[in-house]
Amino acid sequence: MYTIDLSGKTALVTGVANKRSLAWAIAQELAAAGAQVILTYAGERVREGVEELAGQIPGTPIVECDVSSDESLDGAFGKIREETERIDYFVHSIAFAQREDLEGKFIDTSREGFRIALDISAYSLLALTRRVVPLMTAGGSIVSLTYIAAQRAVPSYNVMGTAKASLEQITRQLAWELGPEGVRINCISAGPLNTLSARGISGFTGILKHYEGRAPLQRNVAHKEVGTAGLFLLSDLAGGITGTTLFVDAGYHIVL
C-alpha cells in the first residue's frame, strides 16, 4: 500500500481566497501529508480570511503577493526566502478577468481586458515559476488549475478560456524546459465548483446541473477530490508525469 509522506518538504500555495478555493483544498492535503505550507494572498481584501485559514494549519506563514507587479513579486519572494531555503512544491491557482469581459460577448473583449486576463491568469505562472525554480534545489513539482474552456468553447467563459489555453501551453513549454532540472509541471482541469472565481461566471448554477446530467459519474466533483489529485501530481507517486493536464471532472471531458 502506498502512502504519501511529505515530512520535511515545503509547499508554496498561491491563490487562496477563502475556504472554497481549490488552492486551499490542495493546501489541506499537503499539510495532512506532513508538508510545511506557505500561503500567499492577493491583497488586504482577502488577508483576514487567509489568516483564519492559515490558523487551521499551525505554523503556516502568509505572504502578500500581487502577481501583476514585479515589485510585489520580488518583495514576496524576499519574505518567502526568510521562511525557507527550499521549495519542493508550488501550486498556482490564480485567475482574474474583468466582470464586463465575462458578462458580455467575447467579440467585445477590450484590449485592456484581454491584457489583464492573460497577465494575471497565465503570465503569472511564468513570473512565479521563474522565482520559484531557484529555490527548488532538490528538484520539485508544480501544479496549476485550468478548466475545459481552454480546449472548448464555453458560454460566458470568454477571455478566461483564452487565458486557460495559454496557461496549458505555458505548462507544456515549461515541462520541456525544466525537466533537465528535475522539475515537473502539470495542470488540473477541474469540473465546476462553487469558488469565488466561479461566481463571476454567468449562469453558473446551470453549468453545475449540466455537468451533473452529462458526466459519466452523474455528479459534480468535490473540492477534496481536486485536493487529492493535486497531492498526487505534486508527490513522487506522479514522478513520471509532466506537461500534462489531468481532468478531475467526473469524466465530463470525454462526452461529446
- Catalytic residue chosen out of the listed positions 89, 147, 211, 252: 147
Q: How confident is the model at residue 223 (pLDDT cuts 50, 70, 90)?
A: very high
Using CA atoms, how far residue 191 sits from 53, 184, 252, in Å, is 24, 23, 8
Name the fold adopted by 10-251.
Rossmann fold (3.40.50)
For residue 199, the model assigns a pLDDT of: 55
The span from the CA of 125 to the CA of 177, in Å, is 14
For residue 207, the model assigns a pLDDT of: 72
For residue 82, the model assigns a pLDDT of: 97
Cβ burial of 78 (10 Å; 0-12, 13-18, 19+) is exposed
Give catalytic status of residue 41 as yes or no.
no
Cβ burial of 112 (10 Å; 0-12, 13-18, 19+) is exposed
Mean pLDDT taken over the chain: 93
Give catalytic status of residue 147 as yes or no.
yes
Q: How confident is the model at residue 214 (pLDDT cuts 50, 70, 90)?
A: confident
Q: Which residue has the higher pLDDT, 227 or 196?
A: 227
**Segments making up each domain of the chain, as ranges:** 10-251
- Catalytic residue chosen out of the listed positions 89, 157, 211, 252: 157
Number of helical (H) and strand (E) elements in the chain, helices listed first: 9, 7
Q: Which residue has the higher pLDDT, 205 or 22?
A: 22
SS (HEC) of 91-119 = EECCCCCCHHHHHCCHHHCCHHHHHHHHH
Digit-coded pLDDT (tens) for 18-68: 999 999 999 999 999 999 999 999 988 999 999 999 999 999 999 999 999
This prediction's pTM: 0.93
For residue 183, the model assigns a pLDDT of: 98
Digit-coded pLDDT (tens) for 119-159: 999 999 999 999 999 999 999 999 999 999 999 998 889 99
Q: Please report how the helices 158-178 and 124-132 are oriented relative to each other, as an axis angle in degrees rounded to 10.
A: 30
